[in-house]
Structures are given as C-alpha cells and as structure tokens.
Amino acid sequence: MKKYTFKKEERLCSKRSIDDLFHNGSSFVVYPLRVVFLSRPTDPEQNFPAQVITSVPKKRFKKAVDRNYLKRLMRESYRLEKDKLYSFLQDHSLNLLLAIQYVSNDKLPLEALKGKMEQLIGRIENEITKSDLGKGN
C-alpha cells in the first residue's frame, strides 16, 4: 500500500537550500506551473528524496484566501503524484530540491492541476536524465 503523505521533512524550509535552488537550479514551465529544480547525489541523512516549496504570487492573486487555496491544491496534486518521482529519484540515487510556482491569472480546478503535475514530474525526469548528473549512472 502506498502512503500518500506530505510531511514536514518533505517541505523545503531551509533558507540556504532555497537560495541554492534559485541560484543554481534549472527551470521550465508546464503552464500554469513554473518549476525550478536542482538535483544532487543522495544524502544519507535525508529520509525523503525530494523537498518541495510552493508559491503563488501576490501580484496575481491579491487575496490571501485565493493564494492559500491554490497552494493547497498544488500541494495536494503533488502529494498524489509524487510516488512516480520518488521511485525515479531512488533508482538514480538522487535528491531533488523543487520549487513550484503558479503563474496563471486563473484558478484551475484540482483535476486539471493533477494532470499538469503529472506532466511536470515527467518533464523533471526527462531533464534529469538529459543532464550530466543523470548520465552518471
């Protein structure tokens, strides 16, 4: 049985890691989501292969209620799709830092976001495979 959890350890909170991600990471867009990711060799002290941060800009959604709602939907769609990403990362002995940003002006329903998240995870796997780190194995 798969566990569809999203624990504190899976959230990207470290300021140093976030700075590292945005300065050294690669990015792409699967509309309405923009992704910045940074893959590293596996760290034995980390229990989870990926750490994620989600954001919705105040510029596009003025009300905190709307921003929080969209962040909740993004986390939920990631939580349901992450097992594919985790198995890929474990096969390649990698850890991943991931920032998912919402770039649309419209609110998408959960089902649409889940589809986009699935595309996004597939694209991350392709990008890692193409990169030098992915070719190391």
Q: Which amino acid is at 94?
A: L
Task: Number of helices (H) and strands (E) in the chain: give both, helices first.
Answer: 4, 4
Distances in whole angstroms, Cα of residue 51 to Cα of each of 17, 38, 62, 113: 10, 10, 27, 19
For the packed helices 64-91 and 110-130, what is the interaxial angle rounded to 10 degrees? 40
**What's phi and psi for 57, nearest 5 deg?**
-70, 140
Average pLDDT of every residue of the chain: 90
- String of b and e for 4-18 (b: at least 16 CB within 10 Å)? eeeeeebebeeeeeb
Task: Tell me the pLDDT tens digit for each residue of 73-84.
Answer: 999 999 999 999
DSSP 34-96: EEEEEEEEPPTT-SSSEEEEEE--TTT--SHHHHHHHHHHHHHHHHHHHHHHHHHHHHTTEEE
**Is residue 137 very low, low, confident or very high in pLDDT (cuts 50, 70, 90)?**
very low
Task: Tell me the pLDDT tens digit for each residue of 3-57.
Answer: 788 889 999 999 999 999 999 999 999 999 999 999 988 877 778 899 999 999 9
Q: What's the confidence (pLDDT) of residue 56?
A: 96
**Which listed CATH number (3.40.640.10, 2.40.50.100, 3.30.1360.120, 3.30.230.10) goes with 8-135?**
3.30.230.10
Q: What's the confidence (pLDDT) of residue 1?
A: 54
Q: State if pTM tops 0.75.
A: yes
